[in-house]
Amino acid sequence: MKDFNYYAPTEVVFGREAEARTGQLVHKYQGTKVLVHYGGQSAKRSGLLDAVCRSLQEAGIAYVTLGGVVPNPRVAKVREGVELCRKEGVDFILAVGGGSVIDSAKAISIGVPYEGDVWDFYLRKAVAETCLPVATVLTIPAAGSEMSNGSVITNDEGKLKKDYCTDIFRCKFAVMNPERTFTLPAYQTACGVTDIMMHTMERYFSHEDDMEITDSVAESILCTVKETVFKVLHTPDDYVSRAQIMWAGSLAHNDLTGCGTVGDWSTHCLEHELSGMFDVAHGAGLASIWGSWARTVYLLRPTRFARFAVNVMGVPNDFTSPEHTALAGIEAMERFYHAIGMPTSIPELIGRLATEEEIQTMARICSDNDAHTIGTFKPLNMQDMIDIYWKANR
C-alpha cells in the first residue's frame, strides 16, 4: 500500500431537474459573468442550453456562449474561447456537455490569465498557477472530467493529443441529471461505459494488492457498470440505470479507485495516439488496444489478472493455473466489448489495417522518440509500443 493524498473538492448536485439550480450555484461560487461552453446542436435541441441560460438569468448572472466543441476537442477552439473571455470580461466558465466540452473549458480557464499560448501547458513548457473557476452541467457520463484534475486537448498541427493535469482544474460544482442522458445513441453510451471502466482498470492493474477496500470499490464499479449497460442499451430511458452509470463515471475518475495504489495508464497513452492519428472516439480506441496491452503484460502479475477475471468478469477460477484464468478474463473482456458494439482491434476501429508508417509514428510520438517510457505495471519503451500496436492490428 502506498501513502496517498485524496482531494475531491467538487460539489455534486445530482437528480431530476438539477440543472435548474445552475444559476444559484454559479452565484455561490462568486461568478458574475459566465462563458457557457458547449458542443453541437444537441444541447440546443434538447432544451438544456435554454434551461441553463434561464437559470443564469434568474440568478442575475450575465453570460456569453461559445459552442462548437467536437470530440477530441481542438486547441483552436480553446484559443477562440480564451480571446472571447478576455474580450467579454468573463470570470467563470460553465461547461454544458460531456468530457470534451469540460476539457476544453478547463483549457480555456488556464489560458485566460496566461500571457503565452495555452498549448504550452500541454507541451509541458509552462505550469498553470491560476485559472478561472470551472463548473459543469454534465450530459455524457464517460470521461469523469467533472471530478478529475485532467484535461486532454488535440492539436491538428502534427495530429497531437496531449493531456495536462493540475488540481486547480477541478470543477467547483457538477450538475448531473440522468434524464439528460436518455437520448444518447447506443454507440456513444457504449463508448462512455468503456471509458468509465478503463479509468477504473488503469488504477486497478497495479503491483500493490494489499489495499483491499480500494480493490473492492473498483470491482463494484466495474461489475455495476458492466451489468447495467445492457439495461440502458435495451431501455434508454431507464432512469435508475442511467443514474448508476452517470455516478460511476464520476467515481471512476475522481481518484477514489486509486487510493493506496499506483496506476498504469499505458492504454490511455497508446489510445491518445490512435485518437490523434485517426480522430476516433476515445472509448472505442481504448477497447481496440486494451486486449493487446493485457496480453503483453499479464504474466508479470497473473494473479492480479486472475482476480479481475473471477471478481469482475465471472470467469471460473482455475486454481492450478492463474495464467489460464487471467487469459480467460482478457478474452471475456473482449467478448463484453463486442457485445456492446466496441472494437477489439485497430482494423475494427478504423476500417482498415494501420500502415507500418502510422504505427511507427504513433509509437515515436508516444515515447517522445524513445526518450521515455509509459506505464507502471510494465514500463513500455518505443519498441514495446510498436509491438502492442502490431498485436492490435490484426
Task: State how far the Cα of 246 lies from the Cα of 249, in Å rounded to an integer.
Answer: 5
Look at residue 204 in the predicted model and tell me its pLDDT: 97
Look at residue 264 in the predicted model and tell me its pLDDT: 97
For residue 159, pLDDT beyond 90: no
pLDDT in tens, 216-251: 999 999 999 999 999 999 999 999 999 999 999 999
Full set of structural domains in the chain with CATH: 11-180 (3.40.50.1970), 184-393 (1.20.1090.10)
Q: Do 154 and 160 meet the contact criterion of CB atoms below 8 Å apart?
A: yes
Grid coordinates representing 117 are 499560448
Look at residue 390 in the predicted model and tell me its pLDDT: 98
Look at residue 244 in the predicted model and tell me its pLDDT: 98
Look at residue 389 in the predicted model and tell me its pLDDT: 98
pLDDT tier, 271 (very low <50, low <70, confident <90, very high otherwise): very high
User: Across residues 189-211, what is the average pLDDT?
Assistant: 96
pLDDT in tens, 323-356: 999 999 999 999 999 999 999 999 999 999 999 9
pLDDT tier, 120 (very low <50, low <70, confident <90, very high otherwise): very high
The torsion defined by the Cα of 154, 122, 255 and 184, in degrees rounded to 10, comes to -20
Look at residue 40 in the predicted model and tell me its pLDDT: 84
pLDDT in tens, 280-300: 999 999 999 999 999 999 999
Q: Which residues sit opposite 174 in a β-bridge?
A: 12, 136
Look at residue 176 in the predicted model and tell me its pLDDT: 98
Task: State how far the Cα of 66 lies from the Cα of 82, in Å rounded to an integer.
Answer: 11
For residue 161, pLDDT beyond 90: yes
pLDDT in tens, 122-156: 999 999 999 999 999 999 999 999 999 999 999 99
Query: Hey, which bits of the chain come out as E strands?
Result: 11-14, 33-38, 62-66, 92-97, 134-138, 150-155, 160-165, 173-176
Task: State how far the Cα of 119 lies from the Cα of 95, in Å rounded to an integer.
Answer: 20
Look at residue 61 in the predicted model and tell me its pLDDT: 98
Look at residue 43 in the predicted model and tell me its pLDDT: 84
Look at residue 377 in the predicted model and tell me its pLDDT: 97
Look at residue 1 in the predicted model and tell me its pLDDT: 84
pLDDT tier, 42 (very low <50, low <70, confident <90, very high otherwise): confident
The torsion defined by the Cα of 193, 195, 199 and 202, in degrees rounded to 10, comes to 110
The pTM of the full predicted model, rounded to 2 decimals, is 0.95
Look at residue 105 in the predicted model and tell me its pLDDT: 98
Task: Name the packing angle between helices 239-252 and 186-204 (round to 10°).
Answer: 40
Cα distances from 377 to residues 51, 184, 188, 217, 382, in angstroms, run 45, 34, 29, 20, 16
CB proximity list for 265: less than 8 A, separation 6 or greater: 202, 374, 375, 376
pLDDT in tens, 76-93: 999 999 999 999 999 999
Give the strand order in the sheet containing 173-176. Answer: 11-14, 173-176, 134-138, 92-97, 33-38, 62-66
pLDDT in tens, 208-217: 888 999 999 9
Look at residue 45 in the predicted model and tell me its pLDDT: 86
